[in-house]
A = this chain, B = another copy of it.
Amino acid sequence: MMMDHPLLITTMLHRARKLFPKKEVFSRCFDQDHRLTYSQFYERTCRLANVLASLGVKPGDRIGSFAWNNHRHLELYFAVPCSGAVLHTINLRLFPDQLVHVINHAEDKIIFIDEDLVPLLARIADQLTTVEKFIILSDKDELPEINLPRALSYEKLLAEAPAEYDFPEDLDENTPAAMCYTTATTGAPKGVIYTHRSIYLHAMMVALPDVLNVRERDSILPVVPMFHVLSWGIPYAGVWMGSKLVLPGRLLTPEAICKLIEEEKVTLPVGVPTIWIGLHQHLQSGASYDFSSVTYIVNGGSAISKSLIKSFEENYGIKVLHGYGMTETSPVVLISEPKSYIDQWDPDRRYAQQARQGLVVPGTEMKIVDVNGKEVAWDGKEMGELCFKGPWIADSYYRDPERSAEAFRDGWLHTGDIVTIDEEGYIFIQDRAKDLIKSGGEWISSIDLENTIMAHPDVVEAAVIAIPDEKWVERPMACIVLKESAREEVDQQDILEFLKDKVAKWWIPDRVLFLDEIPKTSVGKFNKKELRKTYS
């Protein structure tokens, strides 16, 4: 038979240091940029593992990280799970009471913090009941002056630790390796625990040519934060395959990202639509860079509009690859790679296809069920709830039996996303179950409507919410941000006129509201709960 060999993150680390010791990690920190080879990265990771041991970290202990995308965060990605502990990547953008909740709920024993983020934790430090030490990630020789108790310097600890460490080879592959909390829109954030096995399988799947296509010759720029679902597994896949990693730190302006792409010859920039919308505006304003290294822009987190995909390709020669996932799915489960014969479709139809959430990735099982639990037809019309199962899909939330029972039923994760699936198997999100507008017994997809409105040349952002209606129960209202140049010119009538031949008549919003900005959640999605509260 076959060896009973566990699937461990450790194998990625060893492959990088043995086969790709000269390959590079670029890291932008608060004070300076760093360049490390995988050989140096490995040594520092060993030192960090020794530091963890010397601080009394035991198998299964939760270790928090509160950091931007940089090399020290990458070291934590490997040293913590490979030595048997669990990395809890804390979302910087949570509100203070949420931060207190997740850190206490996870029972983090140590938290590693970027120096510029110290103030965010300092103000809640006295409410953290389990944290024994704060380790400050900084380039400065001496600890910066901070008002955190029990604080130590990361670099000082590393310098004093032995440079060699024997990572255990006999961990069970189902050992917890990392955890993230989702930003629940109601109630406290929900924790998801990833195992060595799930991270290993997900990373290999992500590297497949029809998923993100991660190769040794790539230079990968994860703009998506490392505190956001393990940066979609990119750091693990990249290290494993020996890719160059470009970790951009905190400065994520369009200019900074464009310069990094040009200077570090990035092949695979990966991030959320907000980033690509900003970058696109920057290019449209006349900025010019050498993007010849880019294979494609990878978009995830939220949908990206067909018009943006089209403009990137036709105006700048940059292909956009759109994927879908969530904290509970590790995250990548759908990818909108066009099938070979879609190349022959006319471009507009192809762009529309690429804007869909895509095909289910290898190794994940998917079904779409209507309210009666019946699978919907593959006709691009019938709506149903998207459900998943597979080796990198969660089966529960951490210590939360009640909400686990809601989402995980009959062996499936019920995502709460209402979707259609077309004849080619491409899934298209219509809405979150709770954001659907129920008008006169029919469903209106707020997202579909938003995308249609965003195709208007003067619209930057659009969020559609339900407002209560006596006759129809609910009716849509559009909240729109216009381009600055158009703010004096475009009015409600222009928008409704624009929609007339594009959506069903009864989908046309009753009201249009022009805002300076759409409120966002901590992960940059439209905060519709907030909008509903304010305007309904």
By a beta-carbon cutoff of 8 Å, the part of chain A in contact with chain B is 1-5, 7, 11-12, 14-15, 18-20, 22, 174, 176, 193-195, 197-198, 200-201, 204-205, 207-210, 213-217, 240-242, 330, 337, 339-341, 359-360, 362-363, 365, 389-396, 411, 424-425
Q: Decide yes or no: A5 and B390 within 8 Å by CB, A242-B339, A360-B15 being known contacts.
A: yes
A395 x B340 contact (CB < 8 A): no
Q: Which 8 A-B pairs have the closest CB atoms?
A: A217-B340, A2-B198, A3-B395, A19-B425, A5-B391, A209-B209, A209-B215, A1-B193
Neighbouring B residues of A209 by C-beta, 8 Å? 207-209, 213-215, 241
7 A/B residue pairs, CB under 8 Å, sorted by A = A2-B394, A5-B391, A12-B362, A19-B360, A208-B208, A209-B241, A217-B339
Closest Cβ of chain B to A186, distance in Å, is 23
A391 x B3 contact (CB < 8 A): yes
CB-contact partner of A1 in B213, B395, B411, B425, under 8 A: B395
Q: Decide yes or no: A208 and B210 within 8 Å by CB, A7-B391, A390-B3, A390-B5 being known contacts.
A: no
Kindly state the separation between the CA atoms of A20 and B362 in the bound complex, as whole angstroms. Answer: 12
Q: Decide yes or no: A339 and B210 within 8 Å by CB, A362-B204, A391-B3, A395-B3 being known contacts.
A: no
Neighbouring B residues of A360 by C-beta, 8 Å? 15, 19
Neighbouring B residues of A204 by C-beta, 8 Å? 201, 204-205, 208, 362-363
A216 x B208 contact (CB < 8 A): no
Neighbouring B residues of A210 by C-beta, 8 Å? 215-216, 241-242
- Given contacts A3-B390, A3-B411, A240-B362, list 7 more A-B pairs with CB under 8 A: A1-B394, A4-B174, A5-B391, A11-B362, A207-B362, A241-B362, A242-B339
Closest to A212 in B: B209
B216 x A3 contact (CB < 8 A): no
Kindly state the separation between the CA atoms of A337 and B394 in the bound complex, as whole angstroms. Answer: 35
Neighbouring B residues of A240 by C-beta, 8 Å? 362
Closest to A205 in B: B204
B365 x A208 contact (CB < 8 A): no
Closest to A240 in B: B362
Closest Cβ of chain B to A277, distance in Å, is 29
Neighbouring B residues of A341 by C-beta, 8 Å? 22
B2 x A216 contact (CB < 8 A): no
Q: Decide yes or no: A2 and B207 within 8 Å by CB, A339-B242, A359-B19, A360-B15 being known contacts.
A: no
Closest Cβ of chain B to A212, distance in Å, is 10
A389 x B215 contact (CB < 8 A): no
Kindly state the separation between the CA atoms of A362 and B240 in the bound complex, as whole angstroms. Answer: 7
Neighbouring B residues of A242 by C-beta, 8 Å? 210, 339
Kindly state the separation between the CA atoms of A198 and B339 in the bound complex, as whole angstroms. Answer: 28
Kindly state the separation between the CA atoms of A174 and B15 in the bound complex, as whole angstroms. Answer: 26
Closest to A200 in B: B363
Neighbouring B residues of A337 by C-beta, 8 Å? 216
Neighbouring B residues of A213 by C-beta, 8 Å? 209
Neighbouring B residues of A174 by C-beta, 8 Å? 1-2, 4
Neighbouring B residues of A197 by C-beta, 8 Å? 2
Kindly state the separation between the CA atoms of A225 and B214 in the bound complex, as whole angstroms. Answer: 30
Neighbouring B residues of A390 by C-beta, 8 Å? 3, 5
B216 x A339 contact (CB < 8 A): yes
